[in-house]
């Protein structure tokens, strides 16, 4: 048995999953933790990580390491995605983190991040031909899956925090601001030739902003017993939820059941890429995933270090940030 702690240092939130990997290829999740550190807050056009944001993040990483050690983790894998990947002062942050925590941060490329998303999805959902979208704070990853194989992958700098800080008001979003954000996302999509080959494919969405669609829907339909992992909505369903959120000011968004209060100021920007990819490829439905980067890394470790084939967990055991009360 091997206990592995995987830390995912994102633009908006920092998360950790500690798993106990069994000899038969299965694993148990011992603990999950999450903190909304907003590492990319205030980076601006110069893409410079701000001191306060770095300090908040390093403080959380110290706590994560203490938790991992308390649970006797054999392996600790701290990884970083868009915020650190895009940062002009990336080297300074990596050194500060190493000096304080003793941990060496692995900065994933956008394609690597997309690859781990792909591993997570194909090993936990019954998919064949799909488009995967992972909307984070600082980037959006798109993956084309055909016959369960990854055909294409791309990372785009239009995450929830990027779009919100660059184009959208924190309070009531105006039509003019929304239009600018839509154009920014559309420009990115227009540069991806293979999107013309995935028309009408089903979509699988991951990331906290995307899972908010499912959380709101579950509450409204009084279907809280259904897991988020595999929960499916039509394009009309997600459009309806998005437009209702769009019509609320910040206080109104914070009062919506299923929408986390700490996400309310960036939720419009966070939901927009999924709304647009469904429109762009004429997608009919979207399923939501609780598995992502951290699960992909666990699956890779099992496949590389275990003689037995991976045995993924059941959907209802994949809860990461569930809101059942």
CATH number at residue 258: 3.30.420.150
Chosen domain end from 49, 81, 108: 108
Beta strands across the sheet bearing 2-9: 27-35, 14-21, 2-9, 75-80, 106-107
**Is 272 a domain residue?**
yes
Q: What is the mean pLDDT of each run of 10 residues along the chain (325 residues)?
A: 95 94 90 94 91 97 98 98 95 98 97 96 95 96 98 97 94 97 98 98 97 97 93 98 98 97 96 99 97 94 81 62 47
* One domain, residues 64 and 145: no
Q: Which domain holds residue 218?
A: 111-288
Same domain, 207 and 66: no
What pLDDT sits at residue 24?
A: 87
- In this predicted structure, what is the pLDDT of residue 324? 46
Residues 169 and 44 in one domain: no
- Domain assignment present for residue 229? The answer is yes
Instruction: State whether 48 and 135 are in the same domain.
Output: no
- Are 116 and 94 members of one domain? no
Same domain for 245 and 172?
yes
Residues 65 and 146 in one domain: no
Q: Is residue 84 domain-resident? A: yes
Q: 226 and 251 share a domain?
A: yes
Domain boundary among 82, 108, 134: 108
Number of domain units in the chain: 2
Q: What's residue 44's pLDDT? A: 84
Contact 190, 276 (CB under 8 A): no
Instruction: Collect all residues with Cβ–Cβ distance below 8 Å to 46 and sequence separation of at least 6.
Output: 88
* Residue 195: inside a domain: yes
Domain-located, residue 116: yes
The distance between the two most distant Cα atoms of the chain, rounded to a whole number of Å, is 56
Q: Which CATH number fits the domain that encloses residue 20?
A: 3.30.420.40
222, burial (CB in 10 Å: exposed 0-12, middle 13-18, buried 19+): exposed
Cross-strand pairs, 5: 18, 76
| Whether residue 267 is found in the same domain as residue 218 | yes
The answer to whether residue 304 is domain-embedded is no
pLDDT at residue 325 in the model: 36
Please indicate, yes or no, if residue 319 is contained in any of the structural domains.
Answer: no
Q: What is the rounded CA–CA span in Å between residue 131 and residue 100?
A: 40
217 within 8 A of 242, measured Cβ to Cβ: no
Helix (H) or strand (E) holding 50: none
Residue 135 lies in a domain: yes
The 10 Å Cβ neighbour count of residue 154 is: 19
Q: Say if residue 86 is in the same domain as residue 130.
A: no
pLDDT, position 316 = 55
Tell whether 123 and 174 lie within a shared domain: yes
Q: Are residues 134 and 253 in the same domain?
A: yes
Query: Between 235-246 and 208-220, two packed helices, what is the crossing angle to 10 degrees?
Result: 100
């Amino acid at each position: 048995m091997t206990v592995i702690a995987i830390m995912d240092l994102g633009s908006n939130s920092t998360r950790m999953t500690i798993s106990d990997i069994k000899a038969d290829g299965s694993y148990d999740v011992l603990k999950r933790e999450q903190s909304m550190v907003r590492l990319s807050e205030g980076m601006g056009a110069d893409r410079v990580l701000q001191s306060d944001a770095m300090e908040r993040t390093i403080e959380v990483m110290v706590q994560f390491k203490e938790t991992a050690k308390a649970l006797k983790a054999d392996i600790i894998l701290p990884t970083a995605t868009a915020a650190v990947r895009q940062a002009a002062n990336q080297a300074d942050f990596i050194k500060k983190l190493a000096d304080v925590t003793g941990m060496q941060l692995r900065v994933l490329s956008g394609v690597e991040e997309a690859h781990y998303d792909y591993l997570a999805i194909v090993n936990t959902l019954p998919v064949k031909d799909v488009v995967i979208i992972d909307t984070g704070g600082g980037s959006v990853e798109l993956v084309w899956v055909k016959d369960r194989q990854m055909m294409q992958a791309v990372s785009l700098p239009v995450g929830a925090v990027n779009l919100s800080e660059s184009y959208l008001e924190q309070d009531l979003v105006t039509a003019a601001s929304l239009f600018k954000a839509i154009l920014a996302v559309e420009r990115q999509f227009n540069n991806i030739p293979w999107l013309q080959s995935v028309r009408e494919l089903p979509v699988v969405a991951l990331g906290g902003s995307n899972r908010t669609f499912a959380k709101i829907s579950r509450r409204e339909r009084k279907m809280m017993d259904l897991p988020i992992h595999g929960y499916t909505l039509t394009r009309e369903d997600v459009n309806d939820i998005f437009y209702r959120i769009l019509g609320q000011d910040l206080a109104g968004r914070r009062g919506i059941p299923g929408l986390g209060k700490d996400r309310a100021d960036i939720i419009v920007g966070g939901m927009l890429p999924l709304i647009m990819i469904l429109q762009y490829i004429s997608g009919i439905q979207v399923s939501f995933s609780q598995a992502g980067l951290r699960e992909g890394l666990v699956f890779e470790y099992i496949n590389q270090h275990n003689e037995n084939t991976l045995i993924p967990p059941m959907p209802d055991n994949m809860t990461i940030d569930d809101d059942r009360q």
